[in-house]
Each structure stands twice: as C-alpha cells, then as structure tokens.
Amino acid sequence: MSEDTNEKLVPPVKPKARFNLPLASIGLPLLSIVIAILIGAVIMVLMGYDPINAYSALWQGSFGNLVQSSETIKTAVPLLLCGLGIAFAFQSGAFNIGAVGQMYAGALAAIIVAGQFPQIPGPLHMILATLAAFVAGGLWALVPALLKIYSGSNEIISTILLNYIGIYLVDYMVSGPIKIGGHSDAPTSFPVVADTMYPKLIPHTALHIGLVIALTAMVIVFFIMHYTTAGQKVRIVGLNRVAASHAGIRANQVFLLAFFFSGTLAGLAGACEILGYQTRLISGFAPTTGYDAIAVALLAGFEPFVVGLSALFFAGLQTGAVAMEAIAKLPAQLVDLVRVLAILAVLAASSPRILEIARRLQGEDRKW
Amino acid sequence: MVNISQFLRRSGTRNAIIIILAILIIGVILQVANESTRTILDGILSILLTPEFVKAALIAATPLLLAALGGLISELSGVLNMALESMMLIGAFVAYTAADHGGNPWAGLLAAAIAGMLIGLVHAIFTIYLRCSQVVVAVALNLFALASTALSFRILYIQTGFVSAPGFEALRFPVLSDLPYFGIAFFQHNILIYLSLLLIPVMWFVLYKTSWGLTLRSVGEHPMAASTVGINVTRVRYIAVLLSGAIAGMSGSALVSASGINAFQENLSAGRGFIAFAAVIFGRYNPIGAFLGTILFGLGDALQIRLQAYGVDVPYQLLLMLPYVITMIALIFFMRNARGPAASGTPFNEEE
C-alpha cells in the first residue's frame, strides 16, 4: 500500500530511479544510442548506402584526429551549457524550451559589450562581455517565468514565442543598429575587439577557454543538484509542487530561480559562440543549438555528467555528418534522425511502464 | 455602475484592450524605425480596411485552425498535444509530396491526415501506454519531425529543386464572389478553407451534443470516475489522439496551400503548431474560442505581409516578429482564467 502512494506522488515525468543500478544513468543512454545507430544502419541499407562505410566516415570526421576532435569538443561546449540549463529547469518542472532565444540574447549582449569600448583592458573586457551574456540570457529567461507566475501563461508556449522574437531581434540588430560600417550588404555585426576573444587551450586547434567554463558549470550544476538544499528544493518542486508548498518551499521562487539559472547558462553558450570563435554576430548564427540541447538533456536523463557525454555524442554526430556527406555521400540530415531515434529509445526505456515491468521482474528474481 | 475590476473582466473589454495593446506595440515597433508614426498608422488602417487583408488573414489562420481543432480533441480527453507542430510539419511535407506525385491536392490532404495519425499513434503509445511525460514526448516528436522532413525533402527533391505541387483552386460562387468587399474577403477561397470553417460547428456539435463528446470530456475531467462507470479510458484517449493527429496532419496541407505557391521548405511550420496549441488554451478549450484565437494570429501574419508589401519603411525583421508578439500578448491576457480539463497532462493508470 505504501508503495502505491509513493508511486502516486512521483509523477512519471522524471526518468529518475532506473533499475536501482548505479550505472543505469549512463547505461541507458548508451543502450539507446546503440539501438539508434542500428536503426540508422537499417535506414541506410534501405536507402542503398553502406552503413559501415558511413559510420566510419562519421567517426573519422568527428574524432579521427586532433583537429577534428577539437572541432567536436568546440561544438559540444554550447550544447553542454544549454543542456545543463535545460536539465536543471526540467528537474524543477520548468519546461524551458527557450534556450534558443536565451542564447541569442546572450550572444547579442556579448557582441554589444565586446565589440565596443576598446579602452577597457583585455581580460576585464572579456569578463565583462561574458557577464553581460550571462545576465542577458538570465533576464530573457525571466520573462516567461514571470509571465507564468503572474498571468498563468504556459511557459512552453511563451519560451517558444520568445525564441522567434529573439531570432528576429538578432536579425534586426545585425542588419541595422550593430551592423558593420561600410557598404557590405551581408547582415553582419561589427567584430569583437581582438583581446576579448577567449584564449585557446591548445594552439592551432578550435579549443578555447569556453570548454573550461562549460566543464566548471557541469560540476557546479551537479553539486547544486545533488548536494545542496537548493538542488533538493528544485527536485521536490519538480516532483510535486503542492507537496513542496506544504513543506514550506516557495515553489514560485524556485521556479523563477530555475528559469533564471537555466537562462544564464544558455546566455553563456551564446558568449562562447561569439567570443570563442565566431568573432561577430550573424543572422542565424546558431539556429538549432538551443533545440538540440533539449535533446541532449533528454538523452542524458537530466544528469549533469551524462549531459556532458550526451553533448559530446551530439557534437560528434554534427561534425562527423559533414565528413559522412563528403566521403560516403550520405545526406547529413540522416544523423539528425539517428539522434531523435536515440531520444525516443531512451524515453521508452525509462518510461514508468517499462520501469514497472523491470521492477516486477526484479522482484520475481529476488523471490527465486 | 460597474466597478473597474468587473469592467476589466468582461471578455468584450478584454478583447478591446488586447487590440489596443497590439496596435500600441505596432506603434512602438514602428517608432524604432524613426518614421513618422502617424503616417504609418494611417498605412495600417488603410491595410486593415482592404478586403485582401481579411482574405489573407483567413488564409493564414486556416492551418492554425485545423491544428488547434486537432489539439482540442486530444486536450479534452486529457492528453496534452504539444506535438501539433510535428503533425503539422510532417503533414505539410507529406501533403506536398503526395500532391506532387499524385497530381491531386486531395491525395495530399488524405496522405497528410494519415501521416498525422501515425504521429498521433506514436504519441499515444508513448504517453498512454508507456506513460511518458506528455511534454517531453512532444518535444522529441517535434525534433523528429524537423529531422525526418528535412532529410526526406533533401532526398526526394535534391535534383528537381523547387517545384510547385498542384493545389486547391479558389472557388467562385455566383453573385457572392462578385460582391464588393465581401466577395474578395470571404467568397473566393479554396475548398479547404470552407471545410475547415465547417469543422468548427461540426466539432462543437460532436463535443457538446453527442454522447461520445460527453464521454471524451469526462475522460479528460475525471478519468477515474469515467472508468468507474464503465468507460474504457485508454481506448477513448487513443481514439482522441489519433483523431487529433489526423486533423492536425491536415493542417499541414492547409499550410502548404497557404504558402501561396504550394511548396514545401524546411521547417515550414515555424512554430505555428505551438501557436495553435496556445490558441486552444486562450480559446478556453472550445472550438469557437480556438477559431478566434487562430484568427488573431492570422490577422498578425496578414498584417505583417501586407505591411511589407505596402512598402512601410520598417525593418522587415521586426514585421516578421509581429505575429509572435501578438500571440504573446494574447497569452498574457487570456491565460489567467483559462481552465483546462482537470486531468489534462496526467497519464491514467487503471491499476492505481
């Protein structure tokens, strides 16, 4: 009986307790990836391509050598940052689909600060630009959170609307107010001041200090989620808002905080794109990163360290897809399909129904 | 004497406030462009009065209307259908491909309905059988739609490039189509638009005047009670989600038709599925409200296109933003008192 009530309290949202195995949080995504790769292979065969050839090209293009690996890791940085934010927000039941808009806001703030004021000394300037992105992302995320609390607007819809608003805002800014001078027709912003660029970690590769920021964020999010009362509050609110209120937790406050924090990470991702390697803001500079990051977080089951691996996997697919298209002549969009299949597999495998069946099987095992 | 809060709570007043606010926002946007606001507002007014504007708004609203009606069925049964976007996008691609290969827009419409239903089936299996989070599944399905349509479009049309598929022809009614103003605004549309509009009363009747409609709504309000009186909750929800998928899939066909050139492009739906989802909520979970909600977006979309065509000296990026801003404002004002089905969003488990 007590087990029944427990199950009722836990909504089937969180793929949390998986088979009670310590390795399950990594094992499950891995298994799903394998399944997705196999299904992907079947699709390739059906389309008349050689899957082994395709996958080896994919591997070569993503982790084949130092340059390619550094490209992949560079691509993983914004995915990881946004993914962490999304994982954190989803844990508290705040469905933040707005990483795209928050990232755009962050990038916009970064370019506005880093592209002007050359009199500020370099390192300070870099930090200020990063902070501006951090704050801008957070504020952009606060809008849907406040709307939810004060007018009951569904945060999923408002974050999506704000994504489009953010995208068009950047389009407008780079073709107007912050457009580079001269007669160039291409909608491009002015470049950042040279010494605000993130220093490279390894010379002649794409690796920049944004990786350190992302990895630090990963550790911090892990720590907050698992070892602080704030993290516990976030999870309790995510599991049951009403129960949380009865326990004296201010659910609205947690909701606002989760949204703000999640937005700041997406804002940082925007800064990493601009200050890390793009040097200037262009229209559509990262059109899918914010959405891909949702997939990254879903695949990882919202566990910070697994988010890191999942971001690396997604980034590998993204950079490898180019090589796959060039060498094996497969359409690059095929890898998108592989990713989505992996997510669907992980969702199915961590669903309450399957967990129930697994528990039942485990229970029977014990009786034996 | 009516006090202010009562006055504000009247829906008529609320609508008026929203329209005023929308116009104010437009004014602010126009101000940014350093133009004399008054001449531009004159421009907007003259656009609003043309029959072509009403026509364009209706065309732009139709895909949303179909998607919203689809979403409504599912939502009333207690399953949040945030996968409308994916149904719309896949529906659009399939409608385009089938119409192109079958040489007939009806083939496209049928294929879109079937494709939408298949997505509905996947959604239903994940949310009803596996009891996954309805939001999370929808997010995954939307990513799936984006990936699969982009891939298929590339494979099928990489050589041929841009082609226009056969579309629904605009109908002409004797006398009515030749009426001044109303002829252009209301009586020169294609059949799909009239069918979509017809679906509003049909759905209202089915949902509120038939026993199946009552069953559906009871499942959404209180599945346990429905189950106690012998209703098969799971089956009703499956049927609702499949139907929802079929109608939302057809919205893809309307979307291809609304493009004006009967063509598909990557991410054609561009968030319209979510706007339809919003329209269901601020339309207070009934077909007529959903229609009004989608019309609001249609007006914004049409205004945006007209303003561009009118040659108003406003950056077009800000005009493109307009429909989303309008929806956002509507969201703020209408969400407060919208009350959905009580069991919406919660999976049903008979064993509990």
Three-state secondary structure readout of B55-89: HHHHHHHHHHHHHHHHHHHHHHCCCCCCCHHHHHH
pLDDT score at B13: 61
Q: How confident is the model at residue A13 (pLDDT cuts 50, 70, 90)?
A: very low
Give the best residue of A344, A350, A356 to mutate against chain B (max B CB count within 10 A).
A344
> Is A331 part of a structural domain of the chain?
yes
Q: A24 at the B interface (CB within 8 A)?
A: no
Q: Distance between CA atoms of A8 and A236, rounded to whole angstroms? A: 14
State the distance between the two ends of chain A, measured CA to CA, in whole angstroms.
23
Q: What is the CATH number of the domain that holds A119?
A: 1.10.3470
A162 interaction partners in chain B (CB closer than 8 Å) = 328
In a domain, A5, yes or no: no
- Between A135 and B223, the higher pLDDT residue: A135
The pLDDT-based confidence of A18 (bands split at 50, 70, 90) is: very low
Q: Does residue A365 belong to any structural domain of this protein?
A: no
Cα dihedral: A27, A30, A32, A33 (round 10): 180
| Average pLDDT over every residue of A243-261 | 88
Question: Which pLDDT score, from 0 to 100, does residue B12 have?
Answer: 60
Note whether A176 contacts B315, CB cutoff 8 Å.
yes
Tell me which chain A residue has its CA closest to the CA of residue B133: A13
State how far the Cα of B228 lies from the Cα of B208, in Å rounded to an integer: 22
- pLDDT of res. A127: 92
- Kindly determine whether residue B130 and residue A352, on different chains, have CB atoms separated by under 8 Å: yes
With respect to residue A42, please indicate whether it lies within any of the assigned structural domains. Answer: yes
Q: Which residues of B touch A172 (CB under 8 A)?
A: 315, 317-318, 321
Structural domain that includes position A109: 27-358
Give the Cβ contact number of residue A348 at 10 Å.
18
Q: What's the pLDDT score for residue B11?
A: 56
Question: Which of B119, B266, B319, B324 to probe by mutation at the A interface, max A CB count within 10 Å?
Answer: B324
Contact check, Cβ <8 Å, B347/A352: yes
A363 within domain boundaries: no
What pLDDT is attached to residue A9? Answer: 47
**Mean pLDDT across chain A, nearest whole number?**
84
Q: What is the pLDDT of residue B104?
A: 87
Smallest Cβ–Cβ distance between B126 and the set A163, A336, A348 belongs to A348
- Residue at A155 is within a domain: yes
User: How many Cβ atoms sit within 10 Å of the Cβ of residue A323?
Assistant: 20
A21 in a domain, yes or no?
no
Work out the minimum CA distance from A6 to partner chain B, whole angstroms: 11
A211: Cβ contacts below 8 Å, ≥ 6 apart? A73, A74, A77, A201
Q: Give me the residue label for tokens 């982790």.
A: A63
DSSP assignments along B116-127, one per residue:
HHHHHHHHHIII
Query: What is the tally of structural domains in chain A?
Result: 1
Of the candidates B230, B222, B253, the residue with the CA atom closest to the CA atom of residue B100 = B253
Q: Is residue A13 part of a domain?
A: no
What's residue B217's pLDDT?
A: 92
Task: Name the percent of chain B in helix, strand, coil, to the closest 5.
Answer: 75, 0, 25
Per-residue pLDDT at B345: 72
Q: Which residues 80-99 on chain A approach chain B with CB closer than 8 angstroms? A: 90, 95, 97
- pLDDT given for residue A184 in this prediction: 64
In whole angstroms, give the CA distance from residue B91 to residue A15: 30
Which residue of A lies nearest to B275 if distances are taken between CA atoms?
A: A157
Q: Which amino acid is at A216?
A: T
Per-residue pLDDT of chain B (352 residues; tens, 9 = 90+): 445 555 555 556 666 666 777 777 766 666 655 555 566 667 777 777 788 888 888 889 999 999 999 999 999 998 988 899 999 999 999 999 999 888 888 999 999 999 999 999 999 999 999 888 888 888 889 888 988 898 888 888 877 766 777 878 787 888 777 777 787 778 888 888 999 999 999 999 999 999 999 999 999 888 888 888 888 999 999 999 999 999 999 999 999 988 777 888 888 888 889 889 888 887 888 899 889 888 888 888 888 877 777 766 677 788 888 888 888 888 877 766 666 777 777 777 765 5
Q: Do B335 and A152 touch (CB under 8 A)?
A: yes
Residue B320 with chain A: CB contacts under 8 Å = 168, 171
Interface touch B143/A172, C-beta < 8 Å? no
- The A residues from 241 to 270 touching B (CB cutoff 8 Å) are none
Enumerate the residues of chain B whose CB falls inside 8 A of the CB of residue A339. Answer: 143, 147
pTM for the model? 0.83
- Cβ atoms A228, A91 nearer than 8 A: no
Q: Which residues of A touch B331 (CB under 8 A)?
A: 147, 151, 153-154, 157-158, 161
Are A353 and B139 an interchain contact pair (Cβ–Cβ within 8 Å)?
no
CB-CB neighbors (< 8 A) of B139 in chain A: 97, 294-295, 298
For residue A340, give the nearest of B147, B315, B338 by CB distance: B147
**φ/ψ bin of B282: left (φ > 0), alpha (ψ from -120 to 50), beta (otherwise):** alpha
Q: Distance between CA B301 and CA B307 in Å, rounded?
A: 10
Residues 147-166 of A with CB under 8 A from B: 147, 151-154, 156-158, 160-165
Mean pLDDT of A316-322: 87
* Beta-carbon separation of A295 and B140 below 8 A: yes
**In angstroms, what CA-CA distances link A344 with A167, A260, B24, B311?**
28, 28, 44, 46
Condensed to tens digits (0 to 9), the pLDDT of residues A76-128 reads 999 999 999 999 998 888 888 899 999 999 999 999 999 888 888 888 999 99
**Do B321 and A164 lie within an 8 Å CB cutoff?**
yes
User: How far apart are alpha carbons A107 and A94 in whole angstroms?
Assistant: 23
Which of A153, A329, A350 is the best residue to mutate to test the B interface, defined by the most B CB atoms within 10 Å of its own CB?
A153
In B, minimum Cα distance to A347 occurs at B132
The complex's ipTM? 0.80
The whole-angstrom distance between residue A220's C-alpha and the CA centroid of its chain comes to 15
User: What is the least distance, in Å, from the CA of B338 to any CA of chain A?
Assistant: 9
pLDDT of B167 reads: 78
Alpha carbon distance B158, B167 (integer Å): 21
Answer for the pair B137, B127: CB distance below 8 angstroms, yes or no: yes
Are the Cβ atoms of B317 and A172 closer than 8 angstroms?
yes
Q: What is the pLDDT of residue A282?
A: 87
- pLDDT surpasses 50 at A5: no
Average pLDDT over residues A294-301: 87
Pick left, alpha or beta for residue A367 (phi over 0 → left; psi -120 to 50 → alpha; otherwise beta): alpha
Cβ separation B328–A344 shorter than 8 A: no
> What is the per-residue pLDDT for B40?
65
CB pairs under 8 A between A and B: 144
B138 token code pair? 């929808």
A295 contacts on B by Cβ (under 8 Å): 139-140, 143
Q: Report whether B128 contacts B79 (CB < 8 A).
A: yes
CA distance B270 to chain A (A): 9
- The verdict on A337 touching B (C-beta cutoff 8 Å) is yes
Asked if B283 and B292 count as a contact pair (C-beta separation under 8 A), the reply is: yes
pLDDT at A22 over 70: no
C-beta of residue B343 within 8 angstroms of C-beta of residue B349: no
A123 CA to chain B: closest CA distance, Å? 34
Quickly state the pLDDT bin for A213 (edges 50, 70, 90).
Answer: very high
Sign of CA dihedral B99, A338, B276, B271: negative
B140/A344 CB distance under 8 A: yes
CA A151/CA A145 separation, integer angstroms: 10
Nearest to B144 among A13, A340, A348 (CB): A340
Give the DSSP letter string of B177-204: GGSTTHHHHHSS-BHHHHHHHHHHHHHH
Return the H-helix or E-strand segment holding B175. none
